[in-house]
Chains A and B, each alone.
Chain A
Amino acid sequence: MIRGYAGRVLEVDLAARTFAFRPLDEDTARLYLGGKGYGARLLYDMTPAGIDPLGPANPLIFATGPLNGSVAPQSNRFAVVCKSPLTGAIGNAACGGSFAYGLKRAGVDVLVVRNQSPSPIRLEIDGDRSQVAFIDASDLWGKGTGATQAVLGRKKHHAVIGPAGEHLVLFAGIVSNERIAARTGVGAVMGSKRLKAVTAGGSRRLEMDDERAFKEYTKWAGAMFRRHPVLGERLKRVGTSGIVSTTNPRNILPTRNFKYGHHPDALDVSGEFMADHALTGVKSSCIHCPVMCGRDVEIEGVGRVKGPEYETVALLGTNLDLPDLTRVSEWNHLADELGMDTISLGAVLGFAMELQERGLLDAGVRFGDPSGVSGLISDIAYRRGAGADLADGVRRMSEKYGGRPFAMHVKGLELSAYDPRGSYAQGVEYATSSRGGCHVQGASMYMESTGPLTINPHSLNLKADLPVVMQNLACAINSMVLCIFTTYGIVPRFIHEMNPNSPAHRALTAVFEHSGPLLRLAFGAKLAPLVWFEKWLTYITGERFTSGRLQEIGARIFNLERMYNLREGLTAADDTLPDRMLYEPTFPGMTSGHPLHLLLPRYYELRGWDRSGVPTARTLKRLQVRI
């Protein structure tokens, strides 16, 4: 077995209450690494087209990668893969917390949960004894995610659902500690299996090829991260919600269901405001992470709760015309306890408010008015009243009530908090992402809208090239499995410290913007392991990982996911953006929306897809994607 892997896939059948440990497939591990890549391969092979995502045939796959279980910073994430009940396409979500560590310590690389239990159940995986206990979970059914984990024991490693998952809310997530595998409704799939929680633990130690080199390098990398202006300073000080200070001035902060990209009072939910007014000083992190981007806030009437992240302050704050840190923190806490994705939640609430404004639906909520929101969030989780419709997501709501042009989703997944009209490459990523409107399947917005050196987001230069490279990299990172924040470390301090109004900065930006071929050449190079995740993979597995190899692995995963979606009946017509993004200008001087039609053909060409967006036989052969 390749080093870095435990070498075992655990398959559990909830209907038969049986389990089996099977060997991890080494060839698949070499081709797809682990995490969402290995999970996608399993899902493709295990299921035929057209299965009911909430039926017994949909497996729920928890997958770790070769970096999990090491002490490499930001390396304790797991991926969850299944067919998405929200989109009908491939579903996946990544999560921090500590469950990945527990699973790897149990000697399990991948956990596959099949079928459905007739009654609430939980699993306890004892890796040392190679046993799985099927335990009645009737006493936990109905409990929140925090309460459930408290009952199960804070010192163990769990993945749990809340009431939203139990009630099959299509954007329910799976929670580990305070983190959530939020997107695409993986929690609803877990709920459909009546699986309340999985606990994993053991004393297996990760075997590395060159442990000494790994430790020495990790020591250096950890110190570098702690000194880095983003990883060591900004994220520690203001968390992810510090992004408000960038997205608002640049017109990409969702406001009133994405009608606008700017809110005059946005600073009231910024990370800086939070740091000054609400932080308790208690920080939290996923296990073994030095960045500690999580932080607790003290909110009057709510108590000490997890501080909301950027996506949450945007979607539950300005998007509802309610930039109120107290309310957002309260709703964030409520959504976490109920086990829901706050991105989709904010989007369905924003959509419901616009429907209300236009007289198309009366869900009892209005822009700028907090009354009724808490109650509606609970109603969504328990599928009560109007909440039952909102629990099905924006796409289904628009099919029932109208409002398709301002239904903010791609492929059924609600958009993240970066308006693509001010971030063209991000728009291409949204449109082409296998799981739909998501920002962490590439994160080009960092290179064009939120980072220290950004290309012109409104030109066409690099807007097809950048998404390809970034999506490939994100696929690889989500398969190691590493936190995508680790990539921020690539931008050196001197770039952060450059005067952004200086001629030198302008010149560097211009060079970057015209660097398409160079970008592909640099990322495709197979010279030597250079960046930390390449080095960690090399030291741990004993195989040589370069940027070029990771691009290849990422492209393979991306194309496999594409083939899964095509098999499910998706077409190039699904590679689109909401009409509001395509046709409504968002700032003075802008005459239309996102120019997707000008960028997609080039994107398809770079991907090796035909004009219908189908990977060519040559592309699949080159990438060794077996169909």
Chain B
Amino acid sequence: MSITVELTYDMSKALGARSLEVEGAATVADVLRLTRARFGERAAEFERLTRVAALAVNGVLATHRRGLRTPVADGDRVTFVKAAAGG
């Protein structure tokens, strides 16, 4: 089961990729764990960058569903979201 994870700009810079694929995730918490693993030794940096980034499944914030327990399915897009303002 493959999930596409889209990173924030800052996370992309740290990892050198805009997105990545993770396998075997059943919930948003799993996606978070598997993405953290990709950061390897830079786990602290990952924690810093994700502290202010929400997670969305196919555009819907996990917090508006079941939080980190929100289920994910094959082909879903999970994105890290930064709050912004202006326009």
Contact = CB atoms under 8 A, between A and B. Distances in A.
Partners in one complex: yes
Contact of A246 (B10, B18, B19, B81): B81
A503 interface: yes
Interface in A296-345: 309-311
B61 interface: yes
A270 interface: yes
A272 B85 contact: no
A587 B81 contact: no
Nearest to B81: A249
B62 interface: yes
Given A501-B55, A587-B58, A450 B84 contact: yes
A273 interface: yes
A586 B58 CA distance: 10
Given A267-B9, A273-B9, A500-B53, A262 B59 contact: yes
Given A587-B58, A589-B58, A500 B85 contact: no
A488 B86 CA distance: 8
A250 B81 contact: yes
A239 B86 contact: yes
A242 B52 contact: no
Interface string A147-172: 00000000000000000000000000
B20 to A, nearest CB: 13
A248 B64 CA distance: 17
A243 interface: yes
A500 B86 contact: no
A564 to B, nearest CB: 26
A446 B10 contact: no
B27 to A, nearest CB: 12
| Max chain B Cβ within 10 angstroms of own Cβ: one of A250, A261, A276, A418 | A250
Contacts of A250: 56, 59-61, 79, 81
A456 interface: yes
A451 interface: yes
B82 A245 contact: yes
**Interface range for B:** 20 to 34
Interface residue range, chain A: 35 or more
A306 to B, nearest CB: 15
A239 B86 CA distance: 8
Determine chain B's interface SS by DSSP, over half rule: mixed
Nearest to A416: B87
A401 interface: no
Contacts of A230: 85-86
A273 B12 CA distance: 11
B17 to A, nearest CB: 11
Contact of B87 (A439, A454, A586): A439
Nearest to B4: A264
A270 B86 CA distance: 13
Contacts of A247: 84
Nearest to B65: A456
Interface in B6-48: 6, 8-10, 12-13, 18-19
A450 B18 CA distance: 21
A74 interface: no
B16 to A, nearest CB: 13
B67 A458 contact: no
A220 B51 CA distance: 30
B23 to A, nearest CB: 19
Contacts of B8: 245
Given A249-B59, A251-B59, A499 B83 contact: no
Interface string B67-87: 110000000110111111111
Nearest to B67: A506
A249 B86 contact: no
Q: Report which residue of B19, B54, B62, B82 has the largest number of chain A beta carbons within 10 angstroms of its beta carbon.
A: B82
A588 B84 contact: no
Contacts of B6: 249
A581 B84 CA distance: 23
A417 B61 contact: no
Contacts of A251: 58-60
Contacts of B59: 249-252, 261-262, 422, 586-587
A245 B84 contact: yes
B56 A242 contact: no
A242 to B, nearest CB: 5
B79 A249 contact: yes
Nearest to B12: A267
A499 B52 contact: yes
A452 B82 CA distance: 8
Contacts of B13: 276
B84 A234 contact: yes
B87 A505 contact: no
A249 B64 contact: no
A374 to B, nearest CB: 25
Nearest to B6: A249
B5 to A, nearest CB: 11
Nearest to A498: B52
Contact of B85 (A270, A488, A499): A488
B10 A501 contact: no
A326 B67 CA distance: 39
Given A239-B86, A243-B86, A454-B61, 16 more contacts: A243-B87, A249-B59, A250-B81, A251-B59, A261-B59, A267-B9, A310-B87, A422-B59, A440-B87, A450-B87, A451-B85, A454-B83, A457-B64, A458-B60, A488-B86, A500-B81
24 contacts: A234-B85, A245-B9, A245-B82, A246-B83, A250-B60, A262-B59, A267-B12, A273-B9, A311-B87, A422-B59, A439-B87, A440-B87, A443-B87, A450-B87, A451-B83, A457-B64, A458-B64, A459-B64, A488-B85, A500-B61, A500-B63, A506-B67, A587-B58, A589-B58
